[in-house]
Amino acid sequence: MARYQPALKLSELVAIDFHTHASVSQRQPRDPYNVKLDEAMAKYFKSRMPPTTPELAQYYRERKMAAVIFTVDAESAFGGARISNEEIAEIAAENNDVLIPFASIDPAKGKMGAREARRLIDEYGVRGFKFHPSLQGFYPNDRSAYVLYEVIAEAKLPALFHTGQTGVGARVRGGMGVRLKYSNPMYLDDVAVDFPDMTIVLAHPSFPWQDEALAVATHKPNVYIDLSGWSPKYFPANLVQYSNTLLKDRVLFGSDYPALTPDRWIADFEALPIKPEVRPLIMKENAKRLLGLT
């Protein structure tokens, strides 16, 4: 087992993508339920099916970018088998010039999940945690999740939360059981109050709750926003305005690859009226500071 230690050549990187997905395991057969979800996402975004994690690493290496990578553990509510956090961390360790591993643990696992989190931090060197309330079927401010947050906060690591509607389960009968209500970013206001020293990242433009996300982020200094899952040409005007001004130090580039490629995201982002001095903050500097990279 190789413990992850970043070996990023920061001066050579053009960007840090804060939001990419590991969907294909090198060690276990694909779960048919997860394949169905991936197929629906690929159809919705008109994108390719997911690559393996080593393929993703090479994709970003060719672009001189680093990528935060994770799976989503939603075994309890969604029913699809997760890729192991250990696999992702080990592949990231093998590709530590471009990959930054986050872990994902279903909050329904309670104290057992908290034990797993401690082990992943101590033994594997994961650099943050990913939550998907709509897939995991929980309100982020549910006290049952706090035992897991306590471990993350103690380790001074960031917690990344899916917010809004980004196409997961879209146009599939019953939305594949995905309930949008859990991903209202306002529930994370409670988490930001109760864990004021834990960095919280609201993933995605939070449709239809963009104002709520901006309100939480401007009010709570430990809250960031990543811009993944939407082409920038569809960003609401208020998100662009706040990214340029009050939140310029707490907005992050993210693609949601493979649903959306960084190539397309960056091409569309270049057309936005973002100030020249703000662009490098969003593309790399804010993520570098948040992740403690030097």
Which residue ranges make up each domain of the chain?
A: 10-290
Q: What pLDDT does 196 receive? A: 98
- 105-147 pLDDT per residue, tens: 999 999 999 999 999 999 999 999 999 999 999 999 999 999 9
Quote the mean pLDDT of the chain: 92
Q: Tell whether the model's pLDDT for residue 94 goes beyond 60.
A: yes
Q: What pLDDT does 33 receive? A: 59
How far apart CA 110 and CA 241 sit, in angstroms, is 39
- Predicted model pTM: 0.94
Q: Which residue has the higher pLDDT, 39 or 87?
A: 87
Q: Tell whether the model's pLDDT for residue 170 goes beyond 60.
A: no
Q: Tell whether the model's pLDDT for residue 165 goes beyond 90.
A: no
Q: What pLDDT does 26 receive? A: 80
State the pLDDT confidence band at 45, using cuts at 50, 70 and 90.
Answer: low
Q: What pLDDT does 34 receive? A: 65
Q: What pLDDT does 49 receive? A: 61
Residue 289, both tokens = 């500071």
How far apart CA 37 and CA 43 sit, in angstroms, is 10
Q: Tell whether the model's pLDDT for residue 285 goes beyond 80.
A: yes
Residue 140, both tokens = 């982020």
Q: What pLDDT does 236 receive? A: 96
Q: What pLDDT does 206 receive? A: 96
Residue 64, both tokens = 């001189």
Instruction: Choose which CATH entry (3.30.365.10, 3.20.20.140, 2.60.120.620, 3.40.630.30) describes domain 10-290.
Output: 3.20.20.140
How far apart CA 95 and CA 85 sit, in angstroms, is 15
Q: Tell whether the model's pLDDT for residue 171 goes beyond 80.
A: no
How far apart CA 21 and CA 102 sit, in angstroms, is 10
Q: Of 38-42, 97-101, 233-237, 282-286, where does mean pLDDT reach its minimum?
A: 38-42
CA distances for 236 relative to 95, 147, 208, angstroms: 36, 35, 10
Q: What pLDDT does 80 receive? A: 76
Q: Which residue has the higher pLDDT, 50 or 76?
A: 76
